[in-house]
């Protein structure tokens, strides 16, 4: 069903399950979360340049924006000359996107659809899919699966994706957060020893049998988990290696669903006289369109 002037379109899309709405989708339904992403000028400007700089590819095109948020990419596509833009957003941010689109005078081109990409039924195939799907370490948000599903369901043969390619890198590095993590790990061990003494003194109970479990949990929490950090060039202690390269036009959805089971081998060089605290992951994406609709 298609909504009226003041209603959101659904196009038979289903709302997220309640348990999803309470976690992932609720977070992206907050304006503050959207503001944080939009204020990442490197990303937002890259999309603006890629879309508006390829107006010849977008002119007269039908475009799908997967996970549109506030609708900024849909607005770029409309300004680049798209004939029609379908903007899908599962969270309640869809209502804000509709308001923003209307305020910018693009309501006749951009149709905001609240629902799941997996269940939405579009009335036509699309020429281009745009999406800002990248998370920490490229894949953390697991949104690429949805983009590839949209590709398989809605993209015309020879259609384009923005971005079209993604590369994940790994490099040795140093950062203050590593020493902080180590100190937290040490502090937790001292707290464990205090806990053992207290349990024995107060209740004559020996909790030492759980030492291995405590060690495993503390190690995973402080030494084997990821953290977000901003690094400068001097903190990268060796050349980055390509860990993963993805051609989004052709990579099978099935591979992404099993990627966590793959093993990755790489050889990393470290600068002499360096102390490595950990490894940093970062990524690049490229906006090449497709062979049939190449971007400049």
Of 78, 49, 50, whose CA–CA distance to 65 is shortest?
78
Query: Beta strand 62-66 with 126-130: parallel, antiparallel or unpaired?
Result: parallel
Per DSSP, the three-state class of 197 is: helix
- Report in angstroms the alpha-carbon separations of 235 from 167, 230, 239, 282: 21, 10, 11, 14
Per DSSP, the three-state class of 255 is: helix
Q: Which of 118, 141, 188, 215 is catalytic?
A: 141
Structure-block tokens of residue 257: 């669903």
Quick check: 71 and 100 in contact, CB under 8 A?
A: yes
Q: Which of 132, 188, 217, 262 is catalytic?
A: 132
- Report in angstroms the alpha-carbon separations of 26 from 65, 191, 264: 19, 36, 34
- Told to judge if 141 belongs to the known catalytic residues of this protein, a careful annotator would answer yes
Per DSSP, the three-state class of 127 is: strand
Structure-block tokens of residue 171: 């490099």
- Told to judge if 220 belongs to the known catalytic residues of this protein, a careful annotator would answer no
Of 189, 176, 193, 294, whose CA–CA distance to 235 is shortest?
176
β-pair partners for 168? 244, 283
Give the active site residues: 132, 141
């Amino acid at each position: 069903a298609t909504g009226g002037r003041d209603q959101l379109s659904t196009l038979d899309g289903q709302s997220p399950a309640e348990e999803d709405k309470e976690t992932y989708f609720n977070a992206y339904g907050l304006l503050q979360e959207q503001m944080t992403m939009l204020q990442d000028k490197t990303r937002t400007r890259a999309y603006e340049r890629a879309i508006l700089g390829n107006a010849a590819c977008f002119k007269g095109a039908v475009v799908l924006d997967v996970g549109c948020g506030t609708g900024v990419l849909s607005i770029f596509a409309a300004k680049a000359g798209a004939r029609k833009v379908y903007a899908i957003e599962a969270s309640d941010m869809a209502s804000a996107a509709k308001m923003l689109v209307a305020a910018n005078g693009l309501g006749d081109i951009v149709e905001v659809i609240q629902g799941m990409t997996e269940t939405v039924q579009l009335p036509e195939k699309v020429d281009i899919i745009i999406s800002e799907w990248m998370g920490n370490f490229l894949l953390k948000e697991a949104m690429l699966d949805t983009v590839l599903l949209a590709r398989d369901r809605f993209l015309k043969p020879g259609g384009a994706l923005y971005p079209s390619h993604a590369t994940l890198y790994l490099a040795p590095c140093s950062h203050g957060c590593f020493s902080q993590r180590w100190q937290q790990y040490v502090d937790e061990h001292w707290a464990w020893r205090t806990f053992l003494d207290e349990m024995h003194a107060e209740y004559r109970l020996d909790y030492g049998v759980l030492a291995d479990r405590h060690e495993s949990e503390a190690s995973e929490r402080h030494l084997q988990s990821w953290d977000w950090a901003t690094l400068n060039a001097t903190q990268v202690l060796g050349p980055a290696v390509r860990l993963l390269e993805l051609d989004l036009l052709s990579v099978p959805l099935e591979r992404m669903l099993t990627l966590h089971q793959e093993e990755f081998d790489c050889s990393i060089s470290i600068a002499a006289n360096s102390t490595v605290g950990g490894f940093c992951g970062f990524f690049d994406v490229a906006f090449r369109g497709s062979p049939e609709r190449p971007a400049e």
